[in-house]
Amino acid sequence: MDYLLGTEWEIVPAGGATGEAFFAQFEEQKLFLKRNSSPFLAVLSAEGIVPKLVWTKRLENGDVISAQQWMDGRELKPSEMNADQVAKLLKKIHRSKPLLGMLRRLGKSPLQPETLLRTMEEGLDIDLLTIPSVIRSLEFLNSELENIPSEETTVCHSDVNHNNWLLTEQSELYLIDWDEAMIADPAIDLGQLLYWYIPKEDWVNWLDLYGIKLTEHLKLRMRWYVYAQTLNSIQWYKSKNRFDEMNKWINYLDVIF
């Protein structure tokens, strides 16, 4: 990385699961660097959804390094996820034609519920299939599968955890970490956010800010995708031998049931 910016820059790993992100600083200049980020980043930047993209450079080995403006700020707290800013930014994302157009050009096609369910079922370890809450969840997913399809598909972030929302010192809000972006039913994002962070008695008001009504079909779709995502999380934590987190999500199946 030094030869990209010069030896006067201090470059340190920025953490994260991939080890492909770095923080660079020289005097008052600060950049966030990432290796092989998607071309999608440029559109996210242009739409004001992530911090500004400053430049991209292709290396001799074919890797592409992107540099974004570093924004001093903090992640949102769980209690802040009911803020107007969150609902309005998610609405902007879901209704963005440039974002949708770019993902289509990158070869993405809408995720179908049956595809998600079959992939998830095939990926579950056999011993998980003996757990009563997992069995009950799979029965629900299969029994409601034909009731889930929706004509509406949008760009979905697919991990709207509060850790991925950046609030800057200037009160600007960004949604970061777009590695799992997809074209899908917006209920994927809405279900995560409402189930994890918003009391049910506040769902109607939150969705009013977002711009839609809470229908019975939306309730069913959100619940369906939350079950599917929870099962995926259980399998992921099990594969990493992180059994405390795995058990937490197993218990969560009982909570949402």
Q: Is the dihedral of CA 24, 13, 49, 73 positive or negative?
A: negative
Residue 18 sits at the vertex; the CA angle it makes with 183 and 87, to the nearest 5 degrees, is: 40
Q: Which residues are catalytic?
A: 159
Is residue 40 within 8 Å of 102, Cβ to Cβ?
Answer: yes
Amino acid in the structure at residue 77: K
